Amino acid sequence: MSSSNTISHEIAAILRDEILQQRYRSGERFPSERDLAARFDASRGAVREALSQLEQLGLIRTQPGGARVQSVKSASLAVLGPLMALGDYPDPLLVDQFLQTFSVLTAMTAKNAVVAASPEQLIQLKKLVAELAGEAEDFEAMQPHWRALLEAMSTIADNLVVRLISNDLKAQFVDQMIELGIRPDLRAGSIDKLLSSLRVSLNNQDGELAGQAMQDHFVELREAVGEAIRFRADELSIRAAN
Amino acid sequence: MSSSNTISHEIAAILRDEILQQRYRSGERFPSERDLAARFDASRGAVREALSQLEQLGLIRTQPGGARVQSVKSASLAVLGPLMALGDYPDPLLVDQFLQTFSVLTAMTAKNAVVAASPEQLIQLKKLVAELAGEAEDFEAMQPHWRALLEAMSTIADNLVVRLISNDLKAQFVDQMIELGIRPDLRAGSIDKLLSSLRVSLNNQDGELAGQAMQDHFVELREAVGEAIRFRADELSIRAAN
DNA sequence: GCCCTATATTTGGTCGGACCAATTTGGTCT
DNA sequence: AGACCAAATTGGTCCGACCAAATATAGGGC
């Protein structure tokens, strides 16, 4: 039995989503442990474990007299994944904020990796860029290669802080988009431009160029993803009207 | 009784630090709940709650047969604060990584804030910059003003993702440095240069300039902090030798 | 000695009940 | 309306019990 199937995890996930959907006002007292145990037909021990998890996420603060709901704004980054997974499609503004933030971190990582790479690592990166180029026509098929390239850069740059951030950013974000039927339509040549710049940056070990190429790519990706979400939202509301 | 004084929180903090100090190898089985209950002279329920917290941090994975330790590299960003608080002074490399990461996020926030600010908000920011200028001679005294400026920019830029990251980055980092006796010695004129650029950026609503000013400032801050940590480390080892 | 299988033991998951400290609520008085 | 107090509620913790799943051990075969 995987630990994510325990009663306490299920309870925590349900309550987490209720908080993220703002069913409770910030500062409000949360239902009591005894009430939650009755609601979920579980023991108070399981409820307490679930509340421990929510507290670690910064979503509640437990104290005698009753837990209090905290503002989502003061929560841990780990709530971002579930926040974006709410509903049929994610909030476009939140997605854009995610992409913008991810882009500056990715640009920094690319820059540092290109500067720090050994000759062997440069060869490895070039190889990964070439593999990515081989799938550049198909957005979905190129994702594993894109992830491999980012992972290699992250390893070479070796910044633990960015690594920890990425863990919580759920860099499988794109997979989630694809599952939800959101497919960004990048302009022709956009990936080619990125790959071309990356190749030059690797040949010259030019970190600035690598970083700038990443940032430019994400500017386009942000637009494309925003359009795709709006398109998907329209699809879903038309379907709902029928 | 504040919730942070509960037995389960104390147990979780001790175990968290042991994991962060690599007392256990990644993948290794963690001590059993019954053993931990005996070790801490507590009930198994309290231990379970502590383990729930550690799992939420991504430090362990609980499953029947025994919890397994996870690599710190795959943990949640929320472990960064405790990681930097280990020992008499933090790892200089980790601090530098933190500052570098924080600087790109701060630059992005400053840029977005200056671009997005209403006329009233621009006036507010200018006022905060002026207040910061009034304390620029004293690194410690200027921290509340610095924080107020960053907070205002963060509010104006209104990027939830960066907000969540900052929550976990423990932006009280500087306070922690001061407590540990680490005092960065910024070059004369460094703050003046930053403030001057910020004023121009606000007058012209020039986001790029604001972002660049922040980045430049952090380049200097990184150097100064690194020196200060090395100085402090030397102090402590001389003291230990006596 | 190595591998496989069966069994025993250990471990996590959960339950219910008990008790105490801290907080909240409701009633009374001024 | 505000202050105060008692009662009720709530979190914090403990204990013992039981079951499912994983791990360790023993025995047999090659």
**Nucleotides in chain D near protein beta carbons (<7 Å):** 9-17, 20-24
Among chain B residues, the shortest Cα distance to A8 is held by: B52
pLDDT in tens, B87-115: 888 888 999 999 999 999 999 999 999 99
Give the bases of strand C that a protein CB approaches within 7 Å: 10-18, 21-25
CB contact under 8 A, B52 and A49: yes
What pLDDT, in 10s, does the model give residues B141-163? Answer: 888 898 899 999 999 999 999 99
Distance of B42 CA from C8 C1′ (whole Å): 28
Q: What is the distance in angstroms measured between the alpha-carbon CA of A14 and the sugar C1' of C24?
A: 27
Question: What counts of helices (H) and strands (E) characterise chain A?
Answer: 11, 2
What per-residue confidence (pLDDT) applies to A200? 95
Which residues, 6 or more positions from B28, have their beta carbon under 8 angstroms from its beta carbon? B68, B69
Rounded mean pLDDT, B173-182: 76
- Residue in A58, A73, A161 nearest the CB of B160: A73
Residue pLDDT, tens place only, A100-123: 999 999 999 999 999 999 999 999
Residue A67 in contact with residue A27, Cβ under 8 Å? no
Over the stretch B46-83, which tens digit does the pLDDT of each residue have? 999 999 999 999 999 999 889 999 999 999 999 998 99
Instruction: For residue A173, name the pLDDT band (cuts at 50, 70, 90).
Output: confident
Contact between A75 and B166 (Cβ < 8 Å):
no
What's chain A's average pLDDT?
89
- Cα–Cα distance between A58 and A135 in angstroms, integer? 41
Cβ-proximal residues to A117 (8 Å cutoff; 6+ apart), any chain: A125, A156, A202, A205
Q: Which two tokens stand for residue B7?
A: 């037995």
Q: Does this model's pTM top 0.95?
A: no
Query: Considering only CA atoms, which residue is closest to the C1' of nucleotide C23?
Result: A65
Per-residue pLDDT band at A5 (split at 50, 70, 90): confident
Confidence label for B139 from pLDDT (cuts 50, 70 and 90): confident
Please say if the pLDDT value at position A53 is more than 50: yes
Residue with tokens 């950026």: B201
Chain B interface mutation, best of A165, A212, A218, highest count of B Cβ atoms under 10 Å? A165
* C-alpha span between B8 and B182 (Å, rounded): 32
What domains appear along chain B, each with residue ranges and CATH number? 3-75 (1.10.10.10), 79-241 (1.20.120.530)
> Which residues have C-beta within 8 Å of that of residue A104, sequence separation ≥ 6?
A215, B104, B105, B107, B108
pLDDT of residue B1: 38
Whether residue A101 and residue B105 make contact (CB cut-off 8 A), yes or no, is yes
Q: Is the pLDDT reported for residue B174 higher than 80?
A: no
